[in-house]
Structure 1
Amino acid sequence: MAIIPATSTKPARDPVVFMEGGPGGDAIGAIPFLIDSKVNRDRDLIVMTQRGGLHSRPNLACPEIDRFYGEAVGLRYDAPSTGRRLVRAAKECRDRLTAEGVDLRAYNTTENAADFAALRKALGIEKWNVYGYSYGTDLALTYLRRHPQGIRSVAIDSVVPPQIVSLPWTWDSAREGIGAIFDACAAQPSCKNRYPDLPRTLTEQVRRLEASPLTLTVEPPGGGNPVKVVLDGGTLVNILVTNGRAMPAADVPAALDELARGNPERLAKVQAAGATPVIGEMAHGLTHSVACSEWVPGHSKSDLLAAGRRAFPGWPDTVLAQAPQLPFEHDLCRVWNVPDRTAIQRVATFSKVPTLIVSGTFDAKTGAKWGPYTGRTLPRSTAVRIPGIGHFVVPQSPCAQSVLASFLARPTAPETGCVAGLTPAPFTITPLPERT
């Protein structure tokens, strides 16, 4: 745990406690983003590693899975053989953790929320404010539902509603986020004229790559020895869903156009970035203990495929059968073997605690519409959508930072005026190649 003092000379008495995403992300590693976002401007900021995360004991890191992901850049994303390798790596990690005495049943959102309730009492804090992002919103809403005492306000950023999150849900979010990027391009005349039909281009390229994957040798974005990468339809989709890190959303239209014209270099470099994962940073043990007990049960492989077909009609079933970011999770969960907790966890939060709900329109991981959806059972909530921003909004948007600061000052009346004047940044426009 870390406590970052407020920068104000007269800080408020009620601190902010941060809930990291993932599940399994490094909460301590998020501190620079939170400080840069001025979350600790008027209040102390408390950051606790979630159970199983980096810096906790035991640490549920899975180097076996990290190494698989490093190798996977050179494999077909959705090939059955790739799935078997992932499942084998997960089983190796599970067997090692359980041999060390780890009870994976204890790593879930219910227990996670109880840890934060215990922390507030241990620190002697009468009231505090909660800020969570991504899985941290699932956790924050669970915490609010089960331990409402001592919560002054809740801010959730990039919302994962506990009552709806599932593997099929990921396709709905992918459709919304990718579609928002394409709509924003169509709203900018220079982008619309240069890239006139992005949905059709994407469908054509997903189908083409899935039928005939490309194998390339490219230098990673940060330099280093060239690595072999494979681009198939599933890889392309996963790159778009995780936009904003290796490839900004502003580059998506140009990257798709280049791919269609026979130049996959930009996308291949994005894929190559995964060839050297940071071993042990992500607590995959927490990731899969939560996913396999709370997100996967209750929906079959055919449910997932049907959701993919609804989101992207005409795409190959081999692509749509795998949830973005969680491929082969049904198979993995069979070996992970934790009990179904959906009856306890898949529940909406009803609360009158003031809540700020922040979403980015370009978020293809947790679609923006799920913010207002979650607000239906939070009568004192304020939901804002930040145009042109992807996942984890506050660190990327000065407007969102301003809204959060005003919310923490006055939770029932945050200043949201800056949102109305926002538009997505201009997209990257590359010149048409000269005809020969």
Structure 2
Amino acid sequence: MTHALMNRRSILAAAGLALPGLALPSRAQEQEQPGPFRFVAGDGQETDAERGFFEVPEDRHIPGSRRIRLGYVRFASTSANPGPPIIYLAGGPGGSGVRTAMGNRFPIFMALRAVADVIAFDQRGTGLSAHIPERPASPAPWPALTHREMTDWYRDAMQKAWVDWTRAGVAMTGYNTEQNAYDIDDLRRHLGVEKVDLWGISYGTHLALSVLKRHPDVIGRVALASLEGQDQTVKRPAHIDAFLDRVDRLLGEDPVARAAVPNLPALMRRVHARYEAEPAIVTISGATGPADLKIGGFGVQLMASAMVANPPTLSMLPGVYLALDAGKTDVLSPLFPPPDRYFSIAGMPEATDLASGISPGRLALIEKEAKTAVLGDAFNMPMPHLLGAIPGVDLGEDFRSAIRIETPALLVAGSLDGRTPLEEQAEVIDQFQRKTQVVVENAGHNVFESHPEVQTLLVKFFGGEPVSDTRLSLAPPKFALV
């Protein structure tokens, strides 16, 4: 049973960016010297690659800002006449492109070499491009997983960390999507090419939209999955409710599951109310031994927010809620990682989300919807909970405004993506004027590796071959009831 991680960046890690089950090297083990090397994927496959670096200002708005080194891994094209390099933009924010290439998307990285060089890029603040000092986890006693204690903890921890990093000489104001977008153009110049193509997922699409706004003429094609729009750092609770209604209808197609769970959203609401009134004390295993954690209804909502991203964990949801409804709180222990893993502030993810922010109109709508939504505002933790914690970092309404995109685009979505539901993605799709859409029925947030035909379509698209709107299908998830 996999852990359900407890915040926006960790939810995406739980959705696949953490690559569970693979023996990945720690950052300390990663060699950081430029040049050719033998790239080893998590499953042991190997290939020739090149590690490269280039420098950029940490904050382009600060004269004389210190320069930081950004890193990438290049997989050379096998084509005699390669097209523009394909730059992979990881999700998160906080995901590493290099580490993603070690996981389930490794075959796609290899297949795309048939049309161009493929660049696994580590965005500023991640992997080979990490320049924010690591902070120790918050010491016990841990805050309870209730709305008030978690919000207070995040705001306090972020403010203290910001002060410490600033005193250490880190320009924290440089860690945002606007600066990240300029990094992509600097990477293009470093590679010595007129144009690049973009391949991204989740936050990587949020970044791609910012690149297209600032540098449209240097982008040839984009293939984007699990879209996150310019003003979608915080997801609408009503869209999450619509997704849960779809899951409930799927449950209804199984007579046994329907008998056990007559109405999934109603069951979830009942469990949330029960544990909000009387939180559970759950023992969680940690690096320093077992720790007791107080989990209220908000904590259960946080857990569910992680589980809905992809079918493997989504399928566990009814059984977990049935157990909680029966008072079996031991079911929670394997779903929560050690407290010292998620009571921590990394820097890049939180600063980036704070800067992307949310428009006043959308914030008002989300606050209204959250009052009655199944998962309340837990789904987006730690946003908008962190809003205002660090004044003056919001990138503003121009950053969040929609644009008209003429760049050829392949847009891929999974019908059971509970992280960026179809309703959320529909708000973004209309910006693309030259788009081809691929929907994979019963795939989740990690849609790129969900169906073998997706890889084929990606290779055709980046190779300039015509690709038509396509609907692929996977078997529906089998819901666990115990």
Q: TM-score when scaled to structure 2?
A: 0.75
Identity rate, percent: 22
Residue 203 of structure 1 is matched in structure 2 by: 269
Q: Within 5 Å, give how 1:253-264 maps onto structure 2.
A: 253-264=318-329
| 1:381 partner letter | K
Q: Give 1:218 deviation, angstroms.
A: 4.5
| 1:368 equivalent among 422, 446, 464 | 422
Give the CA RMSD over aligned residues: 3.1
Identify if the C-alpha distance between structure 1 residues 266 and 399 changes in structure 2 by more than 3 Å, giving closer, same or farther: farther
Residue 132 of structure 2 is matched in structure 1 by: 60
In 2, distance between residues paired with 1:103 and 1:183?
Answer: 49
| 1:233 equivalent among 293, 297, 300 | 297
| 1:88 partner letter | D
CA-to-aligned-CA distance 1:275-303 (integer Å, 9 cap, x gap): 352898xx832223222232245269765
Q: Does 1:401 align with 2:445?
A: no
Residue 196 of structure 2 is matched in structure 1 by: 128
Which has more strand, going by share of residues?
A: 2
Q: Within 5 Å, give how 1:82-161 maps onto structure 2.
A: 82-161=150-229
In 2, distance between residues paired with 1:236 and 1:63?
Answer: 27
Q: Give 1:211 deviation, angstroms.
A: 0.8
| 1:185 equivalent among 224, 229, 251 | 251
SS in 2 for 1:228: strand
| 1:251 partner letter | M
| 1:344 partner letter | D
Identify if the C-alpha distance between structure 1 residues 172 and 71 changes in structure 2 by more than 3 Å, giving closer, same or farther: farther
Residue 428 of structure 1 is matched in structure 2 by: 480
Q: Give 1:102 deviation, angstroms.
A: 2.4
Q: Does 1:242 align with 2:306?
A: yes
Identify if the C-alpha distance between structure 1 residues 83 and 371 changes in structure 2 by more than 3 Å, giving closer, same or farther: closer
* More displaced stretch, 172-181 vs 337-346: 172-181
In 1, distance between residues paired with 2:158 and 2:275?
Answer: 28
SS in 2 for 1:277: helix
Q: Name which structure has the greater RCO, CA cutoff 8 Å, separation 6+.
A: 1
| 2:135 partner letter | P
Identify if the C-alpha distance between structure 1 residues 11 and 258 changes in structure 2 by more than 3 Å, giving closer, same or farther: farther
Q: TM-score when scaled to structure 1?
A: 0.83
Q: Where do 5+ consecutive residues of structure 1 fail to align?
A: 313-318, 431-436
CA-to-aligned-CA distance 1:133-164 (integer Å, 9 cap, x gap): 111111001111211123221111111110x3
| 2:442 partner letter | G
Q: Within 5 Å, give how 1:219-368 maps onto structure 2.
A: 219=285, 225-243=289-307, 248-271=313-336, 273-277=337-341, 284-296=346-358, 298=360, 303-312=365-374, 320=376, 322-327=377-382, 329-330=384-385, 332-368=386-422
Contact 2:322–2:481 (8 Å) recurs in 1: no
In 2, distance between residues paired with 1:296 and 1:245?
Answer: 25
Q: Does 1:50 align with 2:123?
A: yes
| 1:131 partner letter | W
| 2:419 partner letter | K
In 1, distance between residues paired with 2:155 and 2:81?
Answer: 49
In 2, distance between residues paired with 1:21 and 1:35?
Answer: 13
| 2:168 partner letter | E
Q: Within 5 Å, give how 1:379-418 maps onto structure 2.
A: 379-410=433-464, 412-414=466-468, 416-417=470-471
Q: Does 1:165 align with 2:232?
A: yes
Contact 1:355–1:411 (8 Å) recurs in 2: no
